[in-house]
């Protein structure tokens, strides 16, 4: 069973709120939880209390603060939940302005049906999820490229010293005079080999994956 879609519905018309709730609840396609607000200030309060909404259905004309002003306030507050504007006016200018603000869709109340609303909700959530996945992939790719570049620069300075240490340990292990130090030399040799192995894995790193090292600190997974 999938988690219910959390919707913030902002509209000052109680009858329209009930209509939207009916459309969503009886759609039969999924479960929805709906939080309804009648103005921008109560919507901002709801977002402050719970920023985990999946989508916002927003009336353009609201008392005190219109939908576009609410959108700008949300952006200023770092809230980037996908928004569908729903308005009584079929006006191209409003649609263009809404899209400039990052609104994902624009619906006219008089043309609204249960099928149109539910389809729009699913499409917007799906596109937003895909956009987030692509953004995460891009960030991960850029981070991996930065790590590889850094490792390349570091390795140029480490390869020769590590090779010299490995050769020195090998020669010391052959020395009769160092026989009593054999166990210590073996530990040093093992650590040098471990350094070489880790460096080789870093140079061929293909995935930006981390594991917990100590509390609140993570390290690259080179397993």
Locate the domains of the chain by residue range. Answer: 5-112, 142-220
> Do residues 86 and 107 touch, judged by C-beta distance below 8 A?
yes
pLDDT in tens, 158-216: 777 878 888 877 877 777 666 777 788 788 888 888 877 877 777 777 666 666 666 66
pLDDT in tens, 56-72: 998 888 888 888 888 88
Distance CA 91, CA 88 (A): 9
pLDDT in tens, 14-54: 999 999 888 888 776 668 888 999 989 999 999 887 768 99
Tokens linked to 8: 């913030």
**58-97 core/surface letters (b: 16 or more CB in 10 A; e: else):** bbbebeeebbbebbebbeeeebebbbbbbbeeeeeebbeb
CA 22 to chain centre: 32
Q: Three-state SS for 7?
A: strand
pLDDT in tens, 145-170: 777 777 677 777 777 787 888 887 78
> Do residues 93 and 101 touch, judged by C-beta distance below 8 A?
no
Distance CA 28, CA 11 (A): 23
5-112 folds as Rossmann fold (3.40.50)
């Amino acid at each position: 069973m999938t988690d219910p879609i959390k919707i913030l519905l902002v509209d000052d018309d109680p009858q329209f709120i009930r209509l939207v709730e009916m459309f969503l609840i009886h759609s039969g396609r999924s479960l929805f939880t709906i939080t309804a607000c009648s103005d921008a200030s109560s919507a901002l309060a709801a977002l402050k209390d719970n920023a985990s909404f999946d989508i916002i259905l927003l009336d353009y004309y609201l008392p005190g603060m219109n939908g576009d002003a609410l959108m700008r306030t949300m952006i200023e507050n770092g809230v980037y939940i996908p928004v569908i504007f729903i308005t009584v006016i079929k006006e191209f200018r409003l649609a263009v302005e809404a899209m400039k603000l990052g609104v994902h869709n624009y619906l006219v109340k008089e043309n609204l049906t249960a099928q149109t609303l539910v389809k729009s909700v699913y499409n917007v959530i799906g596109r937003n999820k895909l956009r987030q996945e692509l953004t995460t992939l891009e960030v991960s790719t850029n981070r991996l490229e930065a790590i590889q570049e850094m490792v390349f620069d570091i390795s140029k300075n480490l390869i020769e010293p590590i090779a010299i240490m490995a050769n020195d340990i090998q020669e010391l292990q052959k020395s009769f005079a160092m026989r009593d130090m054999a166990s210590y030399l073996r530990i040093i040799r093992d650590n040098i080999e471990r350094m070489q192995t880790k460096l080789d894995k870093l140079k061929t790193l293909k995935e930006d994956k981390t594991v917990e090292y100590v509390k609140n600190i993570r390290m690259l997974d080179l397993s």
